[in-house]
Amino acid sequence: MGITVTRYSRLYEDRAPVFEDFVKEVHKDLQTRGYSFEIAEAGVLTYEDSWNSARIRIAQEDNNLRYIYTIEMSTLALIGIVIGILLILIVGIVIAILWYTKYSSLKKAMTAAGETAATKVPPLPPPPPPT
C-alpha cells in the first residue's frame, strides 16, 4: 500500500438515470487513453501498475452521480524515490569529502611553497648609503 497522492470528487447533476452508460463511457475513455482499468463491481473501476494504483467510484446520490477517484503512489515507486534521494545524498557527501581532501592538500602545498621560497631566496642587499 502506497501513499495517497490525489483525491478528487465531483457531482454531475441529473445524471443518475444514465448510471450504467456513464460507467461504461468512463471505462471506454480510459481504455482509449491507454489505461486498462478493471471493473471491480458496479460503479467501481480499479487500476494498478508499478508506479500507481487508482480507484474510481461512481455512486448515485438522489438524481445525481458522484464521481470520486483516488490515486496512490505504489510502494515500489516510494522506495525507489527514497533510495534515490539517499544515494544522491551519499554521493554528494563523498564528493564533498574528496573535494576537501584535494583542497586541503593544495592549501598545504601552497603555504609550504611560500615558506620554502622565503627561506631559500637570499635577502636583498642593503641599499647603498646616501652620497
Which string of DSSP letters, residue by residue, matches 57-103?
A: EEEEETTEEEEEEEEEE-HHHHHHHHHHHHHHHHHHHHHHHHHHHHH
Assign 123 a pLDDT band (cuts: 50, 70, 90): confident
- In this predicted structure, the answer to whether residue 1 has a pLDDT above a threshold of 80 is no
Rg for the chain (alpha carbons), in Å? 35
| Grid cell for residue 56 | 474510481
Q: What percent of the chain has pLDDT over 70?
A: 99
**What pLDDT is stored for residue 122 in this prediction?**
87
The CATH architecture to which 3-73 belongs is 2-Layer Sandwich (3.30)
| Rounded Cα gap, residues 82 and 88, in angstroms | 10
* Residue 56 near residue 37, CB atoms below 8 Å: yes
Q: Which residue has the higher pLDDT, 1 or 39?
A: 39
Q: What confidence score (pLDDT) does residue 2 get?
A: 80
> Alpha carbon 48 to chain centroid distance?
20
Domain limits, the chain: 3-73, 83-117
